[in-house]
Structure 1
Amino acid sequence: MCVTCSSTFKKTSHYKSGFNSLHSLTAIICFLSPPFMAGGLSHFHGRPSFLTISRSNPSRPSLCHRPITINMTQTQTQSQTQSYWTSIEADIAAHLKRAIPIRPPVSVFEPMHYLTFAAPRITASALCIAACELVGGDRDQAMAAASALHLMHAAAYTHEHLPLTDRIRPKPAIHHAYSPNVELLTGDGIIPFGLELLAKSIVKNGSNSDRILRVIVEITRAVGSEGVVDGQYKEFLCSQSKGEESWNLGDIEYVCKKKEGGLYACGAACGAILGGGSEEEVQKLRKYGLYVGMIEGMLYGVGRNKKGMEGEVEKLRGLATKELEIFNGRKIEKICSLVQAGLCSV
């Protein structure tokens, strides 16, 4: 299921290392230039699958609604950003491998394991972790939710790519390791398993039971009839009646908002909830996730290769960055980089 950015950089001083010197740059409003991010997240948004990789915070500073000023050294920040997202993805993959081993009955868990890791990775799961850490939480607090989000995505991806015969324009061909009936039933089974992961996390984080319950509601709404399913249905209707070349902007925006937008918004909000963020922080990160997800959908979902998307993506980047202004003074470079990551995908 299955991200405007103008760069304003000011040269300040020279940072000298043992064998070279780097220019220290000040990025206003966290707008990163495309060349800067090209190496940082290209691996992350190239859509590989997991098969390719084996608390409330009373000390939180008061909210500050001011323009964001971020000091960074280009090469260092690029490397740190890449390492940050890579580590999150590795942790999510490891958690899922422990949660879904191939065990008896093999006829059930082997396809479940395979289809979970065959689905392309999306940033929504990692955004859940990043949002949790941004508001002062620990990675472990959001790991079950991040894993559940990937499972929901994997189920939807499996259902969307079933080899149906009545599609006017079939989805791009992918390898099917199992029959359509097995993939359909396995996708159905993955969804409740994700909710089970969340429910079991209450035992480990008993004091956060209210937050986990809220997260369960957030996820079911995001992937159900009010979210992803609604977007899938709209996409199906438009494809049947108009063909993919005749979509209008309103149709594209609707589908992107319900599918990628809703899932990313859910991921960011769930992370903030589990990390003990304030309600304002939860809602700001929810909107940030919505815009990031819509960018993803416009660049690589139903909006891919459609005319007029560049202008819409530019607007969404500006809106997304504005939602992070309340976090000024915290280390937001990594999470903010997502508004530029789309430039790096192929």
Structure 2
Amino acid sequence: MTSKAKRVNKALDETVQLRHPAKIHEAMRYSLLAGGKRVRPVLCIASCELVGGDESSAMPVACALEMIHTMSLVHDDLPCMDNDDFRRGKPTNHKVFGEDTAILAGDALLSLAFEHVAAKSTEISPDRVVRAIAELGSAVGSEGLVAGEIMDIDSEGKDVSLNELENIHLHKTAKLLEAAVVCGVIIGGGNMIEVERVRKYARCIGLLFQVVDDILDVTKSSKELGKTAGKDLVSDKATYPKLMGIENARKFACDLLAQATEELAYFEVARAAPLYHLAYYIASRQH
């Protein structure tokens, strides 16, 4: 993960350079290069390599995924959304550049993501590039991440069932992780069976990511998390610990991890090893 993340960071730094108008590019770079483990880009590259592709082929889509993810964080932190002051241990984008610039920086990252895939995937067949772009668009749109966000907002202060909570997070969190692995397999030339196997894997680790996030929110400090702890409790959001209790939430996380790794049994063990390890990383992360 460390070596792949370093190469992703280098590619992102080269893609989003300081140019005119300076303020918007500074704001884009501020959040895009603020750190993080680059889970989505690494998942994309690992999935491409899983079916015989290579890192260079997957890198444009990998960078696009991080741009889209960063956009979602910048917008999610805004006062009209989650109203957060810190992200990855630093003041959030709107705290540094203002709300207007933060919104535009997110917009710019989103549009650049699709431009980057189309312009830089020159060695990949047009059919595969179009399929990858369609997958990305679906993951981020009104039936993907945006759907999850609006359902999440509407659920605040309301009684939400476990099924409703799962539906929120399948859209809000899992969809972009799903796009990461599916796009990787598409770019790598994988077949439909391989696409569906990694799609199911990603849905499991997407929910796993959220369950762990919910647990950390009530068990760790703001310093440990790098963002404000306990916000879900304050805003009366539906979370897995709230609906299931901490211990049952931890058991659910273990079950999701088992389901995710079961989907990988279809593939050659050596090639699937990074995806196994990424699943375990998501399950055991502490911030």
Counterpart contact for 2:49–2:271, Cα < 8 Å: no
Unaligned runs of 5+ in 2: 215-237
SS of the residue corresponding to residue 271 of structure 2 reads coil
What does residue 257 of structure 2 align with? Answer: 317
1:271 corresponds to which letter in structure 2?
G
Once the two structures are superposed, the pairs formed by residues 221-300 of structure 1 within 5 Å of their partners are: 221-239=138-156, 241-242=157-158, 247-300=160-213
Match status 1:133 vs 2:49: yes
Partners of 2:265 and 2:99 in 1: CA distance: 47
Match status 1:210 vs 2:127: yes
Counterpart contact for 2:8–2:63, Cα < 8 Å: yes
Partners of 1:221 and 1:186 in 2: CA distance: 21
TM-score normalised to structure 1 length: 0.69
Q: What is the deviation of 1:229?
A: 0.3
Unaligned runs of 5+ in 1: 1-84
TM-score normalised to structure 2 length: 0.82
Partners of 2:206 and 2:22 in 1: CA distance: 35
Q: What is the deviation of 1:298?
A: 1.3
Superposed CA offset, 1:260-291 (max 9, x none) = 21111110010011111121111111111111
What does residue 26 of structure 2 align with? Answer: 110
SS of the residue corresponding to residue 33 of structure 2 reads helix
What does residue 333 of structure 1 align with? Answer: 273
Match status 1:199 vs 2:199: no
Counterpart contact for 2:200–2:260, Cα < 8 Å: yes
Q: What is the deviation of 1:330?
A: 3.5
Match status 1:345 vs 2:264: no
2:200 corresponds to which letter in structure 1?
K
Superposed CA offset, 1:7-52 (max 9, x none) = xxxxxxxxxxxxxxxxxxxxxxxxxxxxxxxxxxxxxxxxxxxxxx
Pick closer, same or farther for the CA change 1:316–1:292 going to 2, 3 Å.
Answer: same
Q: What is the deviation of 1:305?
A: 4.4
Q: What is the deviation of 1:177?
A: 1.3
Partners of 1:141 and 1:250 in 2: CA distance: 38
Once the two structures are superposed, the pairs formed by residues 23-172 of structure 1 within 5 Å of their partners are: 85-118=1-34, 120-164=36-80, 170-171=83-84
SS of the residue corresponding to residue 265 of structure 1 reads helix
Pick closer, same or farther for the CA change 1:338–1:282 going to 2, 3 Å.
Answer: same
SS of the residue corresponding to residue 97 of structure 2 reads coil
Question: RCO greater where, 1 or 2, for CA within 8 Å and sep 6 or more?
Answer: 1
Partners of 2:270 and 2:51 in 1: CA distance: 9
Superposed CA offset, 1:110-169 (max 9, x none) = 2122122237445122100000011111100110101000000111110010123xx6x7
Identical amino acids, percent of aligned pairs = 28
Aligned residues: 253
Superposed CA offset, 1:53-97 (max 9, x none) = xxxxxxxxxxxxxxxxxxxxxxxxxxxxxxxx1111111111010
The CA RMSD over aligned residues, in Å, is 2.0
Q: In proportion to residue count, which structure has more strand?
A: 1
Q: What is the deviation of 1:173?
A: 4.2
SS of the residue corresponding to residue 210 of structure 2 reads helix
Q: What is the deviation of 1:256?
A: 1.6
Counterpart contact for 1:265–1:290, Cα < 8 Å: yes
1:146 corresponds to which letter in structure 2?
A
